[in-house]
Amino acid sequence: MVYPKLITAATLSVLIMAGCNKNRGSTPRLSNTVRVGYVGITCEAPIFSAVENGFFKEEGLDVKLVKCEWANYKDVLALGGFDITHHLVMYFLKPIEQGLDVKFTGGIHRGCLRVQAPVNGKINTVGDLRGKRIGVPGMGTPPFIFANRVLGAHGIDPAKEITWRVFPAGELGLALDKGEVDAVADSEPIGSLLVAQGKVKNVADQAQDAPYKDEYCCAVIVNGKFLAANPKAAAAATRALLKGAKWVEANPAAAARLSVEKKYLASNPELNTVAISHLRYVPSVSGAEAAVNSAAAEMKVAGMLSPSTNVAELGKRAFAHLDGVTDEWLQNLQVEKVAGGQVPPNQDIRVYAELILQDKEESCCKAKKAIATTK
Give Cβ neighbours of residue 128 (< 8 Å, ≥ 6 apart). Answer: 117, 122, 203
Residue 331 one-letter amino acid? Q
Is residue 83 scored above 50 in pLDDT? yes
Q: Of the given ranges (48-57, 208-217, 366-375), which has the lowest mean pLDDT?
A: 366-375
d(CA 309, CA 170): 35
Q: What are phi and psi of 188, to 5 degrees?
A: -75, 145
Instruction: Dump pLDDT digits (tens) for 111-122.
Output: 888 999 999 999
The domain locations on the chain are 3-110+217-332, 113-205
Assess whether pLDDT exceeds 70 at residue 149.
yes
Task: Note if the bond before 211 is cis, omega within 30 degrees.
Answer: yes
Is the per-residue pLDDT at 203 higher than 90?
A: yes
Sheet holding 84-88, edge to edge: 62-67, 33-38, 84-88, 216-223, 102-110
| Per-residue model confidence (pLDDT) at position 360 | 47
Question: What's the Cα-to-Cα distance from 344 to each of 267, 270, 302, 341, 370, rounded to whole Å?
Answer: 21, 13, 40, 10, 35
Higher pLDDT, 348 or 289: 289
In the predicted model, what is the mean pLDDT of residues 136-153? 89
Compare 124 and 366 and report the one with higher pLDDT: 124
125: DSSP letter: S
CA separation for the pair 76, 137 (Å, rounded) = 22
pLDDT (0 to 100) of residue 348: 55
Those residues whose C-beta lies under 8 Å from the C-beta of residue 278, and which sit 6 or more positions away, are: 111, 112, 188, 189, 191, 192, 207, 349
Residues in Cβ contact with 159 at an 8 Å cutoff, skipping those fewer than 6 apart = 303
Domains 3-110+217-332 and 113-205 fall in the same CATH topology: yes
Of all residues in the chain, the percent with pLDDT exceeding 90 is 58
Categorize the per-residue pLDDT at 372 as very low, low, confident or very high, splitting at 50, 70 and 90. Answer: very low
Which homologous superfamily does the CATH classification assign to the domain defined by 3-110+217-332? Periplasmic binding protein-like II (3.40.190.10)
Q: What top-level class would CATH report for the domain 113-205?
A: alpha beta
Selected residue with higher pLDDT from 40 and 312: 312
Burial track 332-349 (b if 16+ CB lie within 10 A, e otherwise): eeebeeeeebbbeeeeeb
pLDDT for the residue 365: 45
Q: How far apart are CA 314 and CA 131, in angstroms?
A: 32
For residue 24, the model assigns a pLDDT of 47
Is 142 in a helix, a strand, or coil? helix
Output the pLDDT for position 368: 36
* Residues 6 or more apart whose Cβ sits within 8 Å of residue 308: none
Average pLDDT, the chain: 84
Residues with Cβ within 8 Å of 201's Cβ and at least 6 positions away in sequence, in order, are 116, 117, 118, 119, 124, 195
The length of the chain in residues reads 375
Rounded to 10 deg, the angle between the 311-318 and 285-301 helix axes is 140
Specify the pLDDT at position 135: 97
Instruction: Give the pLDDT of residue 206.
Output: 86
Q: Tell me the mean pLDDT in the region 334-347.
A: 85
Mean pLDDT calculated for residue range 225-238: 96
- pLDDT tens, residue by residue, 353-363: 555 555 544 54
Give the range among 21-35, 183-197, 290-304, 349-363 with minimum mean pLDDT: 349-363
Q: What mean pLDDT do residues 283-297 have?
A: 95
Kindly tell me if the per-residue pLDDT of 19 is higher than 50.
Answer: no
| 185-194, 288-297, 335-344, range with the lowest pLDDT | 185-194
Higher-confidence position of 190 and 243:
243
Burial class (CB in 10 A: 0-12, 13-18, 19+), 303: middle
Tell me, what's the pLDDT at 140?
A: 81
